[in-house]
Amino acid sequence: MRTTLFNSVLLVAGLVGAATAIPTVWVTGDSTTSIDGGKNGTQGWAQYLKYSFGSNALVNNSARAGRSSRSFTRDGRFDQIGALMKSGDWVVIEFGINDAGIPQNGSTKTTGDYLRAVCPGAGNETCTVVYGTNITEVVQTYPTYVKAASQKFLDLGAAGVIISERLPTNVWESGSYSYTPTIYSYYNQLLTTELGGPSSHVYYVQHGSYAAQAQKLLGADIVNANYPMDHTHSSPFLADVHSQAFVLGLKCGTSPLGNLIVNATARIETALGPCLTANATIPI
């Protein structure tokens, strides 16, 4: 009897603890997301995300420069988050910049920025490569890596997973505005649907498209001045804009994570543009 009462107290305490715990938003990605961006004074967008959550959520920026969905997986970085996260946390997955190319045999480099090209394809295709001192790796497609990571987090009790579209390069680079989503935008929509979409707590945020819209509104002079190093890595100012563009995309979708944003939508839209039209085929 005493044991039962004790267990009940523990159970209630546990429930209260779970209900009041502040969720952590774990952000994964590459140098356009990570701390210090591409170095040389540039910055990654997720460094600014915490300001839009106030005290409603913590943000852990786990993005790492040079990584693709493949090398982030091989490094064990999704696994590290899985080991640290608690039930009710959120995970943002944003790759696609370093995933391009064809997996190659014969590399002598085995870590870091190397060996990051995914196997081409939208399904379960694989590419076997041999490198280093006879290491064999069965390389998967982008959807396979992102779906495996997402499913892992959902199985561990994540409140949801946000599949996020990679950022554009400078949309004013050619002298006039230009933005075309990449194959990874298509893969993201496809894999979000295959994972079950919003009813399975998997949401798609068209981050790259919202960032492109924000860059269009800022104009060529400001945007050009905020890519100090190359057309990929932005200044802290533009990284902050890109973070706010993510937040706008989040608030324009149906994810409950959007309810934790402290800023009002109207205030955000004034600076960053309206919600983008998404039809029923886009699982936001």
Ligand X SMILES: *[C@@H]1O[C@H](CO)[C@@H](O)[C@H](O)[C@H]1NC(C)=O
Active site residues: 31, 230, 233
Describe the chain by its helix, strand, coil percentages, rounded to 5. 40, 10, 45
The Cα–Cα gap between 206 and 276 comes to 9
Q: How many residues bind ligand X (CB under 6 A)?
A: 27
User: Least separation, in Å, of the C-beta of 164 and ligand X?
Assistant: 15
Cβ–Cβ < 8 Å for 29, 53? no
One character per residue 2-31, x = contact with ligand X (rule: CB under 6 A) = ------------------------------
Residue type, 121: G
Which of 105, 110, 111, 270: binder of ligand X (CB under 6 A)? 105
- Number of Cβ within 10 Å of residue 163's Cβ equals 27
Residue 270 interacting with ligand X (CB under 6 A): no
Cβ–Cβ < 8 Å for 195, 151? yes
C-beta closer to ligand X: residue 3 or 277: 277
Which of 3, 4, 180, 281: binder of ligand X (CB under 6 A)? 281
Nearest Cα residue to 248 out of 223, 275, 270? 275
Nearest Cα residue to 249 out of 230, 262, 268, 231? 268
Nearest Cα residue to 256 out of 216, 172, 199? 199
**Binding span for ligand X by CB under 6 A among 3-11, 121-129, 161-169, 200-208:** 121-129
The Cα–Cα gap between 18 and 147 comes to 27
The Cα–Cα gap between 204 and 281 comes to 11
C-beta closer to ligand X: residue 154 or 244: 244
Cβ–Cβ < 8 Å for 93, 151? no
**Binding span for ligand X by CB under 6 A among 90-98, 128-136, 201-209, 215-223:** 128-136
Residue 244 interacting with ligand X (CB under 6 A): yes
Which of 123, 155, 221, 259: binder of ligand X (CB under 6 A)? 123
For the segment 158-187, give every residue that binds ligand X (CB under 6 A): none
One character per residue 58-97, x = contact with ligand X (rule: CB under 6 A) = --x-x-----------------xx--x-------------
Paired sense of beta strands 90-93 and 24-28, if any:
parallel
Binding-site ranges for ligand X (CB under 6 A): 38-40, 51-52, 60, 62, 80-81, 84, 103, 105, 123-124, 127-130, 134, 229, 244, 247, 263, 268, 279, 281-282
